[in-house]
Structures are given as C-alpha cells and as structure tokens.
C-alpha cells in the first residue's frame, strides 16, 4: 500500500513536504500563541507556504517563458510555462504586505489602549471594564427607582 512512498518520491516532492511543514507551523503559531505580533508572524509563515505551493505547481520542467516570436512562427515542440500562478503570487505578496501592515497598526493601537499585546491580558482588562460599567449602570438605575 505504501510502496509509492520511497526515497525518490519523498525527495522529488520536497517542496510539497516543506509546504505542509510551513503551513502547519504557521497555523500552530496563530492558534497557540497569545502575543498578537507572534500571531501576525504565524499568518505570514502560513501565507508564505501558500506562495510556495502555487509557485511549485506553476513550475513546468523544461518549460520556457511564454514569449512568442514577432513573426508568430511558433514551434509546436516548445513547452511553455504558465505565467498565471506567478502573477497571482505577485498580487498576493502585495496584499500580504498590506494586510501585515494593517495588522501591525492595529496592534500598536491596541497596545496604546490596553497597555499590552498579550491576548489574555487584553481579555482580562476588557472583562474588568465590562464589570465596572455594569456596576456603575446598576448604581445609577438603582438610585432612580
């Protein structure tokens, strides 16, 4: 059943194994860490693994750049690479940079508001604020009635 998982197969698909390792590492960091900056780093690792997957799938062995000659005399024996995955990854890199910068800007704002970038500490502060607001609201309502 597992005869196809031999040394040459595993080494020949190393980019896919690295994709899986990077993806799971990034996902673990996002889920397990409480520091918001570490979560952004985990998202970037996850995103990089997806870039690697798409670029790996777009690679054509023996393929050349899809640039046609001026006279359009195309040799049918020439193998051309598909440029679409690479173009999509360039766009995704730009979107990733924008998303990362937005996330870091939000973290700076959260740090200014709560004095921490640790998720547990922020939740504790938020719960304390909610309890204080409910207590103050109850005192005001109780005094009127």
Total domains in the chain come to 1
Specify the CATH number for the domain of residue 87. Answer: 1.10.287.3510
Is 105 part of any domain?
yes
pTM for the full model?
A: 0.77
Does some domain include residue 26? yes
pLDDT above 70 for 28: yes
Mean pLDDT of 88-115: 95
In a domain, 143, yes or no: no
pLDDT tens, position by position, 64-101:
888 877 888 888 888 888 888 888 999 999 999 999 99
Residue 124 located in a structural domain: no
Q: Return the SS3 of 93.
A: helix
In a domain, 111, yes or no: yes
Residues 6+ apart with CB under 8 A from 20: 49
Whether 99 is covered by a domain: the verdict is yes
b (16+ CB within 10 A) / e for 41-51 = bbbbbbbbbbb
Answer yes or no: is 140 within a domain. no
Which residue range is the domain that position 49 belongs to? Answer: 7-65+76-118
**Is 137 part of a structural domain of the chain?**
no
């Amino acid at each position: 059943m597992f005869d196809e998982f031999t040394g040459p197969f595993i080494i020949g698909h190393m980019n896919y194994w690295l994709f899986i390792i990077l993806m799971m590492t990034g996902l673990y960091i996002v889920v397990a860490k409480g520091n918001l900056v570490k979560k952004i780093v985990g998202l970037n690792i996850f995103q990089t693994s997806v870039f690697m997957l798409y670029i790996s799938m777009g690679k054509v062995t023996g393929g050349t750049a899809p640039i046609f000659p001026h006279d359009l005399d195309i040799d049918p024996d020439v193998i051309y690479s598909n440029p679409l995955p690479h173009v999509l990854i360039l766009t995704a890199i730009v979107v990733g940079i924008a998303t990362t910068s937005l996330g870091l800007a939000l973290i700076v704002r959260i740090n200014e508001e709560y004095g921490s970038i640790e998720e547990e500490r922020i939740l504790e502060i938020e719960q304390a604020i909610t309890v204080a607001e409910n207590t103050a609201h109850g005192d005001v309502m109780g005094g009127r009635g």
